[in-house]
Amino acid sequence: MSPSRTSRLRVLGGLAAALVLCTTAGGAAAGVPAAGGGLREVMFVGNNWDGTADVIRSGGDLARIGRINVIPDKDLRLAEIYLNPVKLAYFLGVRLGPGEGHDQFVDDMYSTPDGSAVVVSRPSFADVVSIDLASGRINWRFPVAGYRSDHMAVSPDGTRIAVSASTANTVHVLDIRTGRPLGSFATGDKPHENLFTDGGKRIWNMSIGEVTTALDAPWLDWTKGDRHITVVDADTFATVRTIDMRSRLDAAGRSDLSNAVRPAAFTPDGSTLYFQVSFFNGFVEYDVAADKVTRVKTLPKNPATSEDRTTWVNDSRHHGLSMSPAGDKLCVAGTMDDYATVVDRATLQEGPLVPAVKPYWATVSGDGKSCIISESGADRVTAIDFATGRRTASVDVGDHPQRVRLGHVAADWTGPAGS
């Protein structure tokens, strides 16, 4: 499984340069004030298979401002992997499993509050790095436990990030400026989505279980592992609450639905949680205080979508959910059904089905007027107006965009120096 002699020379030949760029966690700190003293709100788009992040306008025409290479240390990382049989096995497993035959170089990202750096989780490299936005160099690197990093969340004050270490059933919490580990907590199998709640006092983690096997028939659901929500104190990391949606779904008469909670969104007051689950074309409404599933919304199927569940990407039928700032609309990415739609939260009536190619995420524009989806199958990002449910803009980005996050860069930033 080792690379060819030519590849080895190329990989090893890049070590010296990569070592100059890279420090260990807690090393050179991000946090230099943004050039010019002003900040510009933008959106970061993680191009998972490219290993790049496009920076686009946070609203309007979504025009691209610049691009960042988030794997400047690629040769060094590959050398480490090829020299370690266990790491290599997991690296290839990520490629053949969740990567759909591709390496996963960027999953999630958030900028530092001062706009000087972007922090990125890199699944195939099992780490989190901080990239200096002025130079494109690595400020710090944190290897997660196990062999794959996944979704992140940023605290409301922008100072801490929580990252899922999916093969270690662990979530790490890091100082966003230095990469210093502040703590960690145990989760169910394959931790995925993370959300800070209660003004940053709590962290909710959703574990989704094993999603890369072909054991997708309903009667084989037991093979997927321990899937539950873990709620912890964000300061002590002690578990406050554990929620297995299995019993809640059963009580609501939906024993047919998986309890693997995927993307999720809280109402502005935190009283209600909406979430997607594996294999389902729709979403679930959950009353937090009552600890009860209150409504389930089934969305239309695309007749062209195969009903063979083994063909659905990582057990997702729909993957991507966001809520308007007012809390009155939900935006749903119908991943395998190739559409997105805005749903009225009061009536759960969907709006127009906006055609989209494998939409993989949904978030909210900077002005709050639009839902922003990543069309991973078309390499573009699209805005859908919350008021009308209609597409308003699209912009081309890199290969296989997934996570899209609001952030900031220096007001005059157009890309790292020399890019």
Distance CA 394, CA 45 (A): 13
> In 10 A of CB 188, how many CB atoms?
23
Pairing of strands 229-233, 202-207: antiparallel
Residue with tokens 């490629």: 95
User: How would DSSP label each residue in 142-179?
Assistant: EEPSTT-EEEEEE-TTSSEEEEEETTTTEEEEEETTT-
Averaged confidence pLDDT in the chain: 92
Q: Return the sign of the alpha-carbon dihedral for residues 52, 65, 159, 108.
A: negative
CA distance 170 to 104: 19
Give 345-357 pLDDT, tens digit per residue: 999 999 999 999 9
Residue 10: is its pLDDT beyond 70? no
Average pLDDT score over residue span 141-146:
98
Whether 164 shows a pLDDT value over 70: the answer reads yes
What digits encode the pLDDT tens for the residues 247-294?
A: 999 999 999 999 999 999 999 999 999 999 999 999 999 999 999 999
Question: Is residue 33 scored above 50 in pLDDT?
Answer: no
- Percent of the chain at pLDDT > 90 equals 89
How far is residue 194 CA from its own chain's centroid? 9
> Can you list the pairs that 393-396 forms with residues at least 24 positions away whose Cβ atoms lie under 8 Å?
393/60, 393/61, 393/62, 394/62, 395/56, 395/61, 395/62, 395/63, 395/64, 396/64
| Confidence category of residue 15, pLDDT binned at 50, 70, 90 | very low
In this prediction, residue 167 has a pLDDT band, given cuts at 50, 70 and 90, of very high
Residue at token pair 């209660």: 198
CB atoms within 10 A of CB 72: 21
| Interatomic CA distance for residues 27 and 140, integer angstroms | 6
Render pLDDT for 98-132 as a digit per residue (tens, 0 to 9).
999 999 999 999 999 999 999 999 999 999 999 99
Write the DSSP symbol of residue 388.
Answer: T
Please tell me the predicted confidence (pLDDT) of residue 417.
84
Q: How far is CA 332 from CA 61, 195, 362, 389, in A?
A: 21, 18, 7, 11
pLDDT, greater one: 24 or 394: 394
Q: What are phi and psi of 155, to 5 degrees?
A: -70, 155
Which two tokens mark 195?
């959300």
Residue 371 pairs in a beta bridge with 364, 384
> Right CATH number for 5-410 from 3.30.830.10, 2.130.10.10, 1.25.10.10, 2.70.240.10?
2.130.10.10
Whether 370 contacts 18, CB under 8 Å:
no
Q: Which two tokens stand for residue 158?
A: 């922008």
* pLDDT confidence of residue 115: 97
Q: Please say if the pLDDT value at position 72 is more than 50.
A: yes
Q: Whose CA is closest to 94, among 122, 131, 72?
A: 122
Asked if pLDDT for residue 317 goes beyond 80, the answer is yes
Place of tokens 């591709």: 102
Which of 18-22, 78-82, 94-98, 304-308 is predicted with the least confidence, judged by mean pLDDT?
18-22
What mean pLDDT is predicted for residues 191-202?
A: 97
pLDDT grade, residue 300 (50/70/90)? very high
